[in-house]
Structure 1
């Protein structure tokens, strides 16, 4: 069992993600059963989206709640010109634009990213988005979340006494 949950994207249900304990440190940290978590993976249906110049904000509903997600789009273009006179994309900007194309109302998505707090509410700062073509993936994700919670996430953190 890895006590360092903050190093991985934990598979989590929306209700569990939105109920994490927030430690108001700088930067904020998030606790689940005394263990620090920093990254999450959710699977659900896109129920709203709002495109702005610098970001795409959307909600993912997994049946237990709606998770606010933000995908940043304000990555800079590289100004270096090629021999054809065209400028190249920053790879991060190109990836963000490809991920933005996947976010449509009613689509089933797998979203991974960093857990953050914005205006007092937990949300995910998106690292990657994958379109799920198999509708069974949502139920499979639920089952994985329940199993992982039982076997890994909800166990008490190892104490100093048990380490000796």
Structure 2
């Protein structure tokens, strides 16, 4: 790899998630709740490239939403209903799996003492019937997980409830609540508290690692790098200067140690994202770039094409865990879950495979 003459170009627009390392996302309270957003903003959320299913409103990582709107479209499929919900700012598709609620509530009833199971099953059937009876013009509150399917943003619903509201109290309440939430939470960047020198140092190290991590990704992408050793990256001045924590340190050995440690953290983080991986594990072994490793893509696609025709997978497609197990057996035992997921996302983006439901995949 000719890395000595390569230069990293500064991106004109920084990704939203770059402002906070992924290890700190769980500290942001917006990340853990069903975020109440305008549908227009839900449709415009930036997608996190390294971690599927995570989206960003400004600096806030979001995985699930709570929306209130009117059903303007309804389509029924064999296994689910697809409702188009409009809140006046936009329309988004909301999926409701027909058997989803029944299975979850059966588990709940089975684990609850003192409840009549038959009564619970009757209530579940009523719930399913009420969900299928939602019609155009009904006002509904939808909660669910966000996902992109074939470049279309949609909500994989965990609950859809009809709002009987002749006085529009729920809509007025939502209209008053949303500006407050935007003003006091969503539009404000999340800031970590820095109460001690140890926390300050840890935060600084995390931000530095994130910055280097982002620059390495830019470098690998811009130069079409297929593989590299960590020591090769450490020799690039434009990367090494980012990793140098204490610029006033008089000791060359101290500076070299700092640079090496930050590079280790950044490379480890890239492995956790699935951006890079090691076919043969080891501290000084070769790192492969997932997006450029064509053999891995070919093996994964071959597994899905062959196995999705088997009777047990022909309806739903191959489950993710099955694909990962086969990839580890056929290609390398060291391939991580994140790496396999990144390959699947790339194959789906290229329309070579289709995700059918909850991490099941079939050849297109």
For the Cα contact (< 8 Å) 1:62–1:138, is it kept in 2? no
Shift of 1:115: 1.0
Shift of 1:136: 3.1
Cα–Cα, structure 1 residues 94 and 7, in superposed 2: closer, same or farther, change >3 Å? farther
Higher relative strand content: 1
TM-score (norm 1): 0.80
Question: What 5-or-longer segments of structure 1 have no aligned partner?
Answer: 79-86
- Partner in structure 2 of residue 51 of structure 1: 76
Size of the aligned set, in residue pairs, is 155
- Partner in structure 2 of residue 72 of structure 1: 97
Shift of 1:64: 0.5
Bigger RCO of structures 1 and 2 (CA < 8 A, at least 6 apart): 1
How far does the alpha carbon of each residue in 1:49-82 deviate from its partner, in whole angstroms, 9 at most, with x for none? Answer: 001110100101100110110011145889xxxx
Worse-matched range after superposition: 94-103 or 17-26:
94-103
Aligned partner of 1:143 among 172, 176, 180: 176
- Partner in structure 1 of residue 146 of structure 2: 115
Matched, 1:13 2:44: no
- Partner in structure 2 of residue 84 of structure 1: none
Question: What 5-or-longer segments of structure 2 have no aligned partner?
Answer: 1-26, 107-117, 201-364
- Partner in structure 1 of residue 156 of structure 2: 125
Measured in 2, the distance between the counterparts of 1:143 and 1:109 equals 18
| Superposition misfits of 4+ residues, deviation over 2 angstroms | 24-28, 74-78, 87-91, 93-96, 159-164
For the Cα contact (< 8 Å) 2:131–2:161, is it kept in 1? no
Measured in 1, the distance between the counterparts of 2:76 and 2:131 equals 9
- Partner in structure 2 of residue 83 of structure 1: none
How far does the alpha carbon of each residue in 1:19-67 deviate from its partner, in whole angstroms, 9 at most, with x for none? Answer: 1111123423100111101111111110010011101001011001101
TM-score (norm 2): 0.38
Measured in 1, the distance between the counterparts of 2:71 and 2:194 equals 45
Measured in 1, the distance between the counterparts of 2:121 and 2:61 equals 32
Which has the higher Rg, Structure 1 or Structure 2? 2
Worse-matched range after superposition: 94-103 or 46-55:
94-103
For the Cα contact (< 8 Å) 1:53–1:74, is it kept in 2? no
